[in-house]
Amino acid sequence: MGMRILIISYFFAPQNAMGAVRPSKLAKYLSRMGHEVTVLCGPGMNDRRDPTLARDLMALKQVHVIREWNPLRDRRARSAAASAATRPPAAQPSAAASRGGALHAVKDAVYRWLRWQADRSFRRRAIAALDELTGTYDVVLSTYAPWSVHEIARAAKRRGLARRWIADFRDEVGTAFAWQKGKKARYLRMLRREADVLCAASQGFLEMMGFEDIGHVLSNGFDREDLPPVADATAHTGRLRVVYCGMLSMGRKGVGDRDLTPMFRALAALIKRGQLARSQVTLVYAGGESALMRRQAAACGMGDLVEDHGLVSREQSIALQRSADILLMASWHMAAQRGILTGKLFEYMMMEKPIVCCMSGDLPGSGVKRVLEETGMGLCVEQASGAADEAALDAYMTELACRWKQGKPLLSSKNAGEVEQYAYPALAARLEGWMQR
pLDDT one digit per residue (tens) for the chain, 437 residues: 799 999 999 999 999 888 899 999 999 999 999 999 999 999 988 878 888 899 999 989 999 999 999 988 877 666 655 654 554 444 444 444 444 567 878 888 888 899 999 999 999 999 999 999 999 999 999 999 899 999 999 999 999 999 999 999 998 898 888 899 999 999 999 999 999 999 999 888 899 899 999 999 999 999 999 887 765 444 556 899 999 998 887 555 555 688 999 999 999 999 999 999 999 999 999 999 999 999 999 999 999 999 999 998 878 898 899 999 999 999 888 776 665 777 789 999 999 999 999 999 888 988 899 999 999 999 999 999 989 999 999 999 999 999 999 999 999 889 999 999 999 999 999 999 999 98
CATH fourth-level superfamily of 4-76+118-221+423-435:
Glycogen Phosphorylase B; (3.40.50.2000)
Is 219 in a helix, a strand, or coil?
coil
Instruction: Report the C-alpha gap between 249 and 255 in whole angstroms.
Output: 9
Amino acid making up residue 137: Y
Domain range summary for the chain, segments of one domain joined by +: 4-76+118-221+423-435, 229-420
| pTM for this entry | 0.81
CATH topology of domain 229-420: Rossmann fold (3.40.50)
Contact 38, 23 (CB under 8 A): no
Burial of 201 (0-12, 13-18, 19+ CB in 10 A): buried
Instruction: Report the C-alpha gap between 335 and 122 in whole angstroms.
Output: 32
Decide if 4-76+118-221+423-435 and 229-420 have a common fold: yes
Query: Terminus-to-terminus CA distance in the chain, angstroms?
Result: 14
